[in-house]
Structure 1
Amino acid sequence: MKYLVILAFFAIIASLASALFFMMRSNSSGKSRQQKMAFALAMRVGISILLFVSILLGWKLGYLHPTGITSGQ
């Protein structure tokens, strides 16, 4: 599960980097560039939601255990 989280974070960073690349790119047409950038940002949102749901599911199924400060302290 730890490797899935690390892989998801790298995918989120890569998606942000590709959106930045498409935003800064000046030699392509405006509409195509905007569509590619929007798709990269939509992928980032999708990966983030998938990561959140997989963490919740892993906790619910017992693969992940919370650590740290206990409640009430």
Structure 2
Amino acid sequence: MNIIITFALLAIVVALAMAGRALLKDGRDGAPKSNRMLHALALRVALSVTLFLFILFSYKMGWIHPTGIPI
């Protein structure tokens, strides 16, 4: 379970880095702007929502349990 969540978080960071690179590279030297940043940010949002839903699904299936703070 930890490997899946770690991989998903790494993919989210990579998508954010791709968006940053597209922001810095697009439109330089008279080149037309592309939609690379838009697609990278849309991918990041989709990965984040998917990770959130996967964590909720894992909790419902009993694969993960909240530890909580003892009262």
User: What TM-score comes out, normalization by structure 1 length?
Assistant: 0.86
CA distance in 1, matches of 2:32, 2:39: 16
Query: CA separation in 2, counterparts of 1:29 and 1:59?
Result: 46
Runs of 5+ consecutive residues of structure 2 not aligned to the other structure: none
Distance 1:61 1:68 in 2: 18
Please name the residue that 2:36 is paired with: 36
Structure number with higher relative contact order (C-alpha < 8 Å, ≥ 6 residues apart):
1
In 2, the alpha carbon distance for the partners of 1:29 and 1:64 equals 47
Secondary structure of 2:63's partner? coil
Structure 1 ranges of 4+ moved more than 2 A: none
1:56 alignment counterpart: 56
Q: Distance in 2 between matches of 1:69 and 1:58?
A: 20
Partners of 2:69 and 2:32 in 1: CA distance: 52
Partner of 1:2: 2
Percent identical pairs in the alignment equals 38
How many positions carry a matched residue from both structures?
A: 68
Structure 1: unaligned runs, 5 residues or longer: none
Q: How far is the alpha carbon of 1:65 from its aligned partner?
A: 0.7
State TM-score, norm by structure 2. Answer: 0.88
